[in-house]
Amino acid sequence: MNFAIVALHIPDGFLSLRVSILCWLIAIPVLAIAIARTNDGLGERQVPLMGVMAAFIFAAQMLNFPVAGGTSGHLVGAALAAILLGPWPAMIIMTAVIAVQALLFQDGGLLAMGANLLNMGIVGVAIGYGISRIASHGSQRVRLVAAGGAAWLSIVAGAIATAVELWLSGTVRLEIVMPAMAGVHALIGLGEALITVGALTLVSATRPDLLKRGGEARGAGRGWTFIAGLLSLTAILLAPAASIDPDGLSRVAEDLGFAEAAVSRYAPFSGYDVPGLSWGAWGRVAAGVLGVAAAVSLVIVATQTRRRKS
């Protein structure tokens, strides 16, 4: 059985070199601050929680869900990570996921990685954390509603940022791409909001301490690690059944006529499959397991500075 895999993130070729470099110049110092702040403030027992969150987000992003009109969407998870762990650890988690996707699976370009990090790993995290803090003193229902709104807005804001980057690159006119990107991602954001609220409801029922402000959570815990690991494995096993319709950006690129600008390159597991093995659906499952392991490893590497200091 063959699976048509669509790119989830901006590929190389959509953005100009100037815009790609500009995004890197913005993303690099912010991520450097995120690593430094995380290494200074994160407790030893919270490191496994970062790894668990990276595993879940990577696995969940493999599950494209149908939206409308032959378009699909997928969880980004930036708001969820920010609400549970705070902005700086969440940026590291998103960076690990996005880097693994680009380097191993050709899911997003290498030059365009700075833009993907900026749109999802920085803007999405900042919005998710900011709105959750505003509602942090409200009731549980208020906090959940705010989390859903933050998740939805993080998707729409990332889409708007992408539209601006495409316009600055001369790829497509702003008055054309802006409503197209914002419109389709407003629908995709509804799925993001539902998944985020569902995940936070589960966390509230099993580990309410993870929702405390100020980094008060003590760590993942064996029980929560097992649950999150089981959810990640379930997502990987369900990945072959994910929607094969193009995601929001791919749909807009096809409709507006710049899809052919995407540049292909070599990646070890392009298309989320293991080359040389006729495993069908199991090839994508194996690729998902490898991707989860790589994302968790990057998170651990990013936290080694604090561990050495300790």
Is there a contact between 189 and 151 (Cβ–Cβ < 8 Å)?
yes
Q: Which residues of 259-281 are buried (b: 16+ CB within 10 A; e: fewer)?
A: bebbeeeeeebbbbbbeeeeeee
> Is the Cα dihedral 194, 199, 205, 207 positive or negative?
negative
Q: Which tens digit of pLDDT belongs to each residue from 87-146?
A: 999 999 999 999 999 999 989 999 999 999 999 999 999 998 999 888 878 888 898 999
Q: Which of 21-30, 42-51, 152-161, 246-255 has the lowest mean pLDDT?
A: 42-51
Question: Could you please report the per-residue DSSP string of 236-281?
Answer: HHHGGGS--S-BHHHHHHHHHT-GGG------TTTTT--TT---TH
Q: Which of 34-38, 89-93, 219-223, 273-277 has the lowest mean pLDDT?
A: 219-223
Average pLDDT over residues 182-193: 93
The fraction of the chain above a pLDDT of 70, given in percent, is 86
Cα dist from 218 to 16, 53, 111, 207, whole Å: 44, 15, 38, 10
The matching CATH number, chosen from 3.30.450.20, 1.10.1760.20, 3.10.20.600, 3.40.50.10210, for 17-309 is 1.10.1760.20
Q: Which tens digit of pLDDT belongs to each residue from 71-82?
A: 888 889 999 999
**Residue 280: its pLDDT value, please?**
65
The rounded mean pLDDT for the chain is 85
SS3 76: coil
Instruction: List the domain boundaries for the chain.
Output: 17-309
Q: Which tens digit of pLDDT belongs to each residue from 207-243?
A: 776 666 544 444 555 556 666 777 787 888 887 777 7
Phi then psi dihedrals of residue 66, to 5 deg = -70, 140
